[in-house]
Amino acid sequence: MSLETTTSWYESYVVGNKETAWFTVFERGSGEPIGWTELKAIDYRNRSAEFAIMIGEPPARGKGFGTETARLMLDYGFTALGLHNIHLYYFAFNPAAGRAYEKAGFREYARRRESHLMGGKFWDTVYMECLTTEFESLLLSTIFTPDMPRVYPT
């Protein structure tokens, strides 16, 4: 996408959207952007959200960035936003994604069989989730401790 298209999308989808927490993923050593991640459909009343990620730079794939990003987003969602359930889905033609999500703390809870057509073949859609009670914060809990009960946006 062009810079103008990307800027327009960002301003319409991300800026001011209380139901989305969107971040660029950077490679720490070089500082280069390698993808994006988000918590979307954030439901503060029910304390849930959907996780998504895309590591778009091929040289960055298979190096643990997806797992690290998923862990950081779980930490952000549970510790900073006070969510209770974060879920995701991926397609079975991407088993590396499933391994990364499982390493981060997600567990499969459902599978919609042969629901996605890719490359002339039907693939399962795999659904995973993580609860705050199943996740241990290693980063944000050391610097972020709410001193008052949370007040969620309505």
Instruction: Give the pLDDT confidence score for residue 108 in this predicted structure.
Output: 98
**Gap between the Cα atoms of 136 and 154, Å rounded:** 27
pLDDT of residue 2 exceeding 80: no
Residue 147 placed within a domain: no
Does residue 150 fall inside a structural domain?
A: no
CA distances from 42 to 1, 7, 62, 91, 152 (A): 26, 22, 28, 22, 11
* Nearest-angstrom CA–CA distance, 50 and 52: 7
* Predicted local distance difference test score (pLDDT) of residue 76: 94
CATH value at residue 35: 3.40.630.30
Total domains, the chain: 1
State the residue range of the domain holding 124: 3-142
Q: Work out the average pLDDT over 11-23.
A: 79
Residues 39-82: tens digit of each pLDDT: 999 999 999 999 999 887 777 677 788 899 999 999 999 988 99
pTM of the model: 0.83
Q: Is residue 28 part of a domain?
A: yes
- Residue 148 forms part of a structural domain: no
- The pLDDT of residue 14 is above 90: no
